[in-house]
């Protein structure tokens, strides 16, 4: 049987020695080759989950398989398939960039391959820094080194824990380019982020976690369609002080400046009233300067889901 799930987390619960329950009955299957974004507020359990999958934190209850290997009983086989870019800087700063890379391959029992390491360093604009001690690099460059290091042993799956926290536009761009390249090679990518626009841009599927529980996992597109409300935004020629009678009965909102009307509606509902709203506005004599519709973003979906489960 071909296993399409590179990661399989089953009924995973984790209580830290402090007594804090960080994960509660988490089930998560990651498909080979996909880009999966894990979204959740601070303290939701994202890093805990990743750390358990990577074998850095002990499994509490449940089971975690990576490429079919149990992370407890077959730790080495499981870990070998994973590249991890941790949230916190965890690296020997007295070592050079190049040696860090060479060493990392060795740790995972991979033969030396300088051409591969050069490719990675060039893709991350680190090639000319290869002989420098990590200590002497800027914060953003250190992050690049973490990414390079995670890729040194050609992992099947790459975890990026908050990859773009505190990085500049250029690194972000380099990183997304690299991720796209890795995806083309078939590498599975799992990232956590607070930047929902990022998830929206690059992820195939999105999981939302809060208080150690997975609230929802869905294809990004389906998620946006299912939960995505649309908004009709009307810019008026001149400001009005209140809604005319003709517009009573429609859930229209007038902005404070009196120049913008918004109408929220459900795109999936066949009986939305966009036509009626526009007709009523026409009847009321209000002149429009411009109009647009907006899809509710993943961010709004995320925020309202968290509010519902608070
Ligand atoms: N070693 C530990 N001992 C006790 N509690 C811990 C430990 N590590 C994490 N926690 C707690 O577990 C919860 C989840 O932490 P975790 O780091 O997994 O969250 P996160 O989703 O990664 O948050 P952030 O977005 O801030 O990175 C937090 O309440 C945290 O305080
Ligand atoms: Mg974290």
Ligand 1 pocket, 81 CB below 6 A?
A: no
Residues 6+ apart with CB under 8 A from 291: 232, 233, 234, 235
Which runs of consecutive H residues, i.e. helices, occur in 42-127?
Answer: 46-53, 75-80, 97-107, 114-123
Residue range 114-130: mean pLDDT, rounded: 93
Q: Is the CB of 42 under 6 A from ligand 1?
A: yes
Ligand 1, atom 18: nearest CA belongs to which residue? 45
Question: 198-235 as b/e, with b when 16 or more CB fall inside 10 Å?
Answer: bbbebbebbbbbbbbbbbbbbebeebbeebbbbebebe
Q: What is the pTM of this model?
A: 0.80
Question: Is residue 121 domain-shared with residue 213, that is, in the same domain?
Answer: no
Show the tokens assigned to 88.
Answer: 């916190």
Range of lowest pLDDT (3-7, 37-41, 71-75, 87-91): 87-91
Position 2 pLDDT exceeds 60: no
Q: Which two tokens stand for residue 154?
A: 């050609």
The least confident of 48-57, 115-124, 255-264, 294-303 is 294-303
Distance 43 CA to ligand 1 centre (A): 5
Residue-wise pLDDT for 32-76, tens only, equals: 999 999 988 888 999 999 999 999 898 989 999 999 999 999 999
CB of 43 closer than 6 angstroms to any ligand 1 atom? yes
Q: Which of residues 181, 207, 224 is at a domain's end?
A: 224
Q: Which domain holds residue 246?
A: 229-308
Residues with Cβ within 8 Å of residue 199, at least 6 apart in sequence? 37, 39, 191, 193, 206, 220, 298
Q: Is the CB of 86 under 6 A from ligand 1?
A: no
Q: Do 74 and 201 have their domain in common?
A: yes
Do 129 and 187 reside in the same domain of the chain?
no
Residue 87 CA to ligand 2 centre (angstroms): 6
**One domain for residues 43 and 30:** yes
Q: What pLDDT shows up at residue 148?
A: 92
pLDDT score recorded for residue 5:
92
Q: If pLDDT is split at 50, 70 and 90, which confidence band does 269 have?
A: low
Q: Are residues 203 and 140 in the same domain?
A: no
* Separation CA 35–CA 51 (nearest Å): 18
Beta carbon of 18 within 6 Å of any ligand 1 atom: yes
Which pLDDT band, with edges at 50, 70 and 90, does 224 fall under? Answer: confident
For 283-293, how does the pLDDT look when each residue is reduced to its tens digit (9 = 90+)? Answer: 999 999 999 98
Question: Domain boundary at 181, 201, 224, which?
Answer: 224
Number of domains the chain contains: 3
Strands 229-236 and 213-219: unpaired
> 16, 52 in Cβ contact below 8 A?
no
Q: What percent of the chain has pLDDT over 90?
A: 52
Tell me the ligand closest to 46's alpha carbon: 1
In the reported structure, the alpha carbon of residue 15 is separated from the centroid of ligand 1 by a whole-number distance in angstroms of 11
- Band (pLDDT 50/70/90 cuts) for residue 197 is confident
| Structure tokens, 181 | 């390249």
């Amino acid at each position: 049987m071909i296993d399409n799930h590179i990661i399989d987390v089953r009924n995973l619960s984790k209580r830290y020695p402090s007594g804090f329950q960080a994960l509660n009955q988490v089930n998560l299957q990651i498909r080979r080759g996909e880009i999966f974004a894990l979204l959740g507020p601070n303290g939701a359990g994202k890093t805990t989950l990743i750390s358990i999958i990577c074998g850095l934190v002990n499994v509490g209850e449940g089971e975690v398989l990576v490429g079919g290997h149990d992370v407890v009983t077959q730790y080495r086989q499981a870990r070998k398939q994973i590249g991890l870019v941790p949230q916190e800087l965890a690296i020997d700063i007295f070592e050079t960039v190049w040696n860090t890379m060479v060493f990392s391959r060795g740790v995972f029992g991979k033969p030396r391959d300088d051409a591969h390491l050069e490719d990675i360093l060039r893709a991350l604009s680190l090639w000319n820094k290869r002989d420098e001690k990590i200590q002497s690099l800027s914060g953003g460059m250190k992050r690049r080194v973490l990414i390079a290091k995670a890729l040194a042993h050609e992992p099947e799956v790459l975890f990026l824990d908050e990859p773009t926290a505190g990085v500049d536009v250029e690194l972000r761009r380099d990183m997304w380019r690299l991720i796209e390249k890795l995806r083309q090679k078939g590498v599975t990518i799992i990232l956590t982020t607070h930047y929902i626009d990022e998830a929206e841009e690059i992820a195939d599927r999105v999981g939302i976690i809060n208080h150690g529980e997975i609230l929802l996992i869905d294809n990004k597109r389906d998620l946006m369609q299912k939960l995505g409300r649309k908004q009709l935004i009307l810019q008026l020629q001149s400001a009005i002080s209140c809604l005319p009678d003709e517009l009573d009965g429609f859930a229209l909102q007038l902005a404070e400046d009196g120049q913008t009307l918004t109408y929220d509606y459900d795109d999936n509902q066949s009986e939305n009233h966009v036509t009626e709203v526009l007709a009523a506005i026409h009847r009321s004599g209000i002149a429009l300067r411009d109009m647009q519709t907006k899809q509710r973003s993943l961010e709004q979906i995320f925020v309202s889901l968290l509010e519902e489960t608070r």
